[in-house]
Amino acid sequence: MSKQLTIYDTTLRDGTQAENFNLTVEDKVRVSLKLDQLGIDYIEGGWPGSNPSATRFFEEIRNYELKHSLLAAFGSTRLFSNSVETDGNLQALVAAQTPVITIFGKSWDIHVHEALRISLEDNFVIIEDSLAYLRPHVKHLFYDAEHFFDGFKNNKEYALATLDRAVRGGAEMLVLCDTNGGTLPTELPDILVQVKNHLKQSGHKVGIGIHAHNDSETAVANSLVAISMGATQVQGTINGYGERCGNANLTSIMPALALKMGCTFNAAHHLKKLSETSRYVNELANLPHNRYQPFVGASAFAHKGGIHVSAVKRNPLTYEHIEPERVGNVRRILISDQSGRSNVLHKAKKFGIDLDSKDPVVTSILKELKTLENQGFQYEGAEASFELLMRRALGAQRRYFNLLGFRVINQKSDMDQPPQAEATIRLEVGGEMVHSAALGDGPVNALDNALRKALTQFYPSLSEMWLDDYRVRVLASDRGTGARVRVLIESRDGDSEWGTVGVSHDILEASWQALVDSITYKLMKDERKKSSQQ
């Protein structure tokens, strides 16, 4: 019988403590919706008592319906100098109005003395008081036993006693934290056995979770060992982002649990979305993908040359530990023209394009795709651009307008005032020449405004569309200002959202490419919708 687990994601809180990993409130909402689609059980949204943006996230996410995931607010036990009724942190947790609250407390006696500067007995009090106060306000109440493994090794009796107080306070899940990331997988089993025996002897019926950090490169291993020893909740982040060396990587843990250890959890049924989710988080954080990352990296199932390629062609299991499709990845034969063919066919089916595997156009699409990828194009966050690429290769994509030329002027005449941007554009639409100009907040915005101004008279539905996000990444930054840039644009209307991409040495040209694809996709989508209604 398979073991039932819950997955607790803390990308939005612990993950954002990583160096250079930053998400806006809007980004956090998008990530939450993506994690919900993946089937994550609990999404930790942040620490509402720590900063205004965390509070705003909890307010904003109420406008969205999560179909599976439950949102968790995170915080600490009360200050010893405060009562539970006056403690700002506890009040902020309640005000977040989440179905789940997770609070952490001190397990290590050194931290009680040095960080909190209170007595060991006083620490017991604030653990139990804080949890007891929160218990009536939430559906689920979890306790993160911070520095538990270090605390256990230093003073086992005290660390275990803090767990007793957490249970008395109403915690339904005791999450054992390897906060410094120094515990090895060889140490974990004995500690887990002693914890389980203690809880059993004390008559506590409570779940055990694991929260591992990666400072010794063992966070994934420790999480898997803990599950094998009876833990029923695993906490981690997408791609392992986190403070210092990172947290336990859920994109490695989940497939290992589901595909290798026979564990059951809701996201196990949606692992085909795992690679997509991994890349999506990277794109929103404006960070490059780790191509060598297990399971979800671009090189995880890539084969190059010699015996490996020959063997994989006969039987992929000779050099692959799982089928890449099970985690939404693809097999890549780096020296073969067949590389990526299955991926193109998969996308074609998704886009409603009838494409035979033997059709020469598949090879044509692959050739163009490889050429564009060499230039810096990536389509993980820009599927609309990839669909347009495929339809153009099939000769099935209508050209809604033609560019005759554009000019953008960015002028700064007063050092105390921001620059003024103006764009002029000439288009041909259905045989009619159109000349338009517009101002904007920067050259790209001016270009976008001029393009829309020119086209809306022909395509009124464009007034219902807006750009939701705009990102620029410098490629090969060692080339300085001569480097290529990749522009990713996320657009939406009342029905859906889509992503497009452009690449060039010129940021305006790259932006133009992404803008044109965005508008073209919108018009194509509207045209298909109209046809289906007739």
SS (H, E, C) 128-182: HHHHHHHHHHCCEEEEEEECHHHHHHHCHHHHHHHHHHHHHHCCCEEEEEECCCC
SS3 percent helix, strand, coil of the chain, rounded to 5, is 45, 20, 35
pLDDT in tens, 369-416: 888 888 888 886 788 998 999 899 888 888 999 999 999 999 888 888
In terms of domains, do 259 and 116 share one? yes
Of 269, 284, 299, the domain-final residue? 284
Token readout for 357 is 């595997």
Residue 163 sits at φ, ψ, to 5 deg, of -65, -40
Does 303 fall in a domain? no
Place of tokens 């909890």: 58
Does 346 fall in a domain? no
Which positions ≥6 away from 446 have C-beta within 8 Å? 408, 421, 422, 423, 438, 439, 440
In terms of domains, do 117 and 262 share one? yes
Q: Quick one: pLDDT at residue 243? A: 96
Contact 434, 454 (CB under 8 A): yes
**The pTM is what?**
0.72
Q: Quick one: pLDDT at residue 366? A: 83
Element (H, E) at 35: helix 25-38
In terms of domains, do 275 and 407 share one? no
CA neighbours closer than 13 Å in the CB half-sphere of residue 392: 15
In terms of domains, do 258 and 116 share one? yes
Q: Quick one: pLDDT at residue 342? A: 64
Residue 18 sits at φ, ψ, to 5 deg, of -70, 150
Of 235, 267, 284, the domain-final residue? 284
- What secondary structure does DSSP assign to 270-309, as a single string? GGGGHHHHHHHHHHHTT----TT-TTTSTTTTEE-SHHHH
Which positions ≥6 away from 138 have C-beta within 8 Å? 98, 99, 100, 101
In terms of domains, do 270 and 418 share one? no
Which positions ≥6 away from 281 have C-beta within 8 Å? 11, 31, 34, 238, 239, 241
Token readout for 256 is 């290992």
Domain count, the chain: 2
Torsion, CA 517, CA 521, CA 527, CA 532, rounded to 10: 160
Does 318 fall in a domain? no
* Cα–Cα distance measured from residue 428 to residue 432, given in angstroms and rounded to the nearest whole number: 5
In terms of domains, do 242 and 112 share one? yes
**What is the length of the chain?**
534
CATH of the domain at 413: 3.30.160.270
C-alpha Rg value of the chain to the nearest Å: 27
Does 229 fall in a domain? yes
Strands 432-440 and 420-429: antiparallel
Q: How far apart are the first and last CA of the chain?
A: 51
Of 236, 256, 284, the domain-final residue? 284
In terms of domains, do 274 and 410 share one? no
**With 0-12 CB in 10 A as exposed, 13-18 as middle and 19+ as buried, what is 300?**
buried
* SS3 state of residue 333: strand
In terms of domains, do 158 and 17 share one? yes
User: Which residue spans within 77-121 are E strands per DSSP?
Assistant: 100-106
* Cα–Cα distance measured from residue 189 to residue 221, given in angstroms and rounded to the nearest whole number: 12
Does 510 fall in a domain? yes
Contact 175, 211 (CB under 8 A): yes
Q: Quick one: pLDDT at residue 335? A: 40
pLDDT in tens, 168-198: 999 999 999 999 999 999 999 999 999 999 9
Torsion, CA 446, CA 451, CA 455, CA 459, rounded to 10: -90
Diameter over CA atoms, the chain: 84
* Cα–Cα distance measured from residue 373 to residue 385, given in angstroms and rounded to the nearest whole number: 13
In terms of domains, do 279 and 408 share one? no
Q: Quick one: pLDDT at residue 349? A: 81
CATH of the domain at 90: 3.20.20.70
In terms of domains, do 51 and 197 share one? yes
Torsion, CA 196, CA 200, CA 201, CA 206, rounded to 10: 100
**Domain around 426:** 402-533
Token readout for 521 is 């996709």
**With 0-12 CB in 10 A as exposed, 13-18 as middle and 19+ as buried, what is 395?**
exposed
In terms of domains, do 420 and 280 share one? no
In terms of domains, do 234 and 106 share one? yes
Strands 233-236 and 6-9: parallel
Closest Cα to residue 99, out of 41, 154, 155? Answer: 41
The low-confidence residues of the chain, meaning pLDDT below 50, are 1, 306, 335-339
Does 408 fall in a domain? yes
The rounded mean pLDDT for the chain is 91
Does 340 fall in a domain? no
Does 298 fall in a domain? no
